Each structure stands twice: as structure tokens, then as C-alpha cells.
Amino acid sequence: MDVRLNEEQQAIQQSVRELVRGKIAPRAADIDRSAEFPWDVVDIFRKHDLFALPFPPEYGGLSGSALTLNVAIEEVAKVCATSALILAVQALGCHPIMLGGTPEQQRRFLPALACGEKLAAYALSESSAGSDPAGMETRAQRRGDEYVLTGAKNWITNGGVADTIVVFAKTDPRAGSKGVSAFVLDNARACKGLTATLIHGKLGIRGSNTAELHFDDVVVPAGNRLGEEGDGFKLALRVLDRSRPGVAAQALGIAQGALDYAAGYARERHQFGKAIAEFQGIQFMLADMDAQTEAARAMVYHASNLIDMKAPGVTAAAAICKLLASDAAMRVTTDAVQILGGYGYVNEYPVERMMRDAKITQIYEGTNQIQRLVIARSLLQG
């Protein structure tokens, strides 16, 4: 499981680290406080080609490597989980096209996503179909050379700002999961009949654009369907195998950022005439935080490497790393608040934001209860 970064990955890691510390870290608290989507961060990502990381060179990308992408997500999440999510969701929205699109569809859609000209979103969840996506009710009815979408999607990251949205809908409501198909909505913000309602009052990732999408006879060309009718659910599961390590990388970055801050605070904060870092109780807390973070990193890198190698076992590894990293992020950030004491409880210091941001990583891309089901099923099937 020992995965080492190559020279190119180390260079990208260092470059992203310097970029986010200089440009994004100073914005993180304001993004959280205002709860406004940070278009300036999008511009930074465009200028420095970070959106190109998930894409292979033939579509204007820089890498196409899951490990390289997730190392970058980790670095961004150390200072701002909202900003890291922008990068992760760009990958999430492009994965269905890269995995299920024809060469013509890939040439048509991917270059604008790789340069960040267009933002992406992935519309799978519904109000009554979260952990059970096969129970979705959004319909896609064929009418000649077009499909007409009706229904609603909920909790869609980038839903109100994305130009390219991959939508999953039932083409055969009687067929269960085998009746789901996937479609690419291009120029989504200009689509007649599509409205996005922003969701306010989130606990964390407050600057992220999270929306409910309403489809009122939205027309999509049949040429924008990914694969055959009924292929959508299998495609969605393949995408989640790739995207869950991205969420895990976000959680890993949050944990590392909180650990770094808590350790620095412990060296500077004095009580009873000495730094609190000299007290064994604090040392044990920091040691546990570090162990949990390092274990999560090993699994995130391992799962990412399996994806890059097209090796077996990706589904279980993706679920394990998402489970471990998100649980670690929640524990580490909670302990970071404890180490800061009263100061950890106010937003003058970043660890309370990190604790709030960490919680969502246990929920989206499949709750951690769902991850346990995936892991157990993989184990018991042998």
C-alpha cells in the first residue's frame, strides 16, 4: 500500500500548496462568512490550470491521474474545503463523459471543462432518492430525436453555476435501476425549463453552490445521451468509484489543516508556565490525530493509485478510503477545537470552520453507512 508520488506529482503538490497558501487561505474565512460562491477562486484555478488535472492531454488536460488530482484536492482542502470542492466536482461532472461518452461526445464536451471555461455538475440525488438513487423519479421521455426531462434533483453541488450538468433520469420507470439513463445538459444555465433553487443555511462548505434543480419539460438532444438507454445506473456507480477518493482527499486535507493549526497553537499557547504542547495529555491527542490522518492518507493514495492502474478492487478501496478519511476528519477537527479550548469555539480561528466542513464528508458521495454496506458486500462476495 506504499504509494510514492513521482517527481511530477511532487512538483504539482508543491505548486498547489504555495498557490493556495498565498491566494486562497486569506479568503477562506470570508468565503465561509459570506456563503457566496467564490468566482475569484474559479478564476485562480483557471489561470493556473488546476481544472485541467482530471483530464488527459488529448482533451486539453494535464494529467488524467486520480492520484495527481487528489493530491491537489488535499492541498486546497487544508485551507478551504469549499474551494477544494470546486475542483473535486469539476472532476465528478466530467467522469460520466470520460467513462461513458463516445469519442465524439468527449471531443465535444471535455475541452471546455478541462480549461475551466465551463463548470460541471453531477445530478443524481433527489429528495426521496439519496442513498437509494435507483428510486429516482425524474423522467426522460423520448420524442423523436430528443428527450424531455421532468422532475427534480436535490443537493446538487454547482447546480446553480454549472454550464455542463450530467443528469440521471428514468427512461423506463418499471425497470428499476435498469431503467436509468444519463444525459449531458450543455449550456445548462440557458436551458429553457431548468431552474436552480439555491439551498441556504448549510452547516459547512457554505461558499459552495448547492441547489435543487427543477426540470419542466427540459429538452435534451438524443445525441447527448451517454451510452444506451438503461446504462445510467451502472455508469453512476462507476463514477462514484472514482469520485469517492476525491471526497476522501478533501476530508484528508481538512484533517491535515486542523492538525497543523492545532500543533502550532499548542507550541505557542502557555498555561501553568509552559507551552501546552509539553503536557502529555495534549501530546497524546496530537499523536492520535496524526496517526488517524496518516492512515487516511495511505488509503486515499492507495485507492487513487488503483484507479490509475485500472487494477481490481477499486470499489471497495474507494469506499474504505472515503469512510476512513471522513471519520478521521471529524475526529481530528473536533480534537483540534478541544486543544484550542474557548478559542476553538469562535470563528476568529479556523478550526471551528474545519469541524463544520468535515461533517459533510461523512454524508455526500454516499453516507458512511452506505460505505460500510459496500465494503461488507465486497468482502462477503469474496
> Residues with catalytic annotation?
365
Q: What is the Cα–Cα distance from 212 to 243, expressed in whole angstroms? A: 21
Q: What is the Cα–Cα distance from 283 to 208, expressed in whole angstroms? A: 35
Cβ-contact 275, 267 below 8 angstroms? yes
Give the CA-trace dihedral at 271, 275, 280, 284, to 10 degrees. 110
Classified as helix, coil or strand, 127 is coil
- The C-alpha cell at 346 is 469562535
Instruction: Tell which residue, 76, 92, 6, has the closest CA to residue 38.
Output: 76
The number of C-alpha atoms within 13 Å of 28 and in the hemisphere containing its C-beta is 30
Write out the E strands in the chain: 120-123, 139-143, 146-157, 164-170, 180-185, 194-198, 210-221, 225-226, 270-271, 274-275
The radius of gyration computed from the CA coordinates of the chain, to the nearest angstrom, equals: 21
Q: Which residues contact 365 (CB under 8 A, 6 or more apart)?
A: 240, 243, 244, 246, 247, 322
Helix H segments across 199-268? 232-268
Helix H segments across 101-218? 103-114
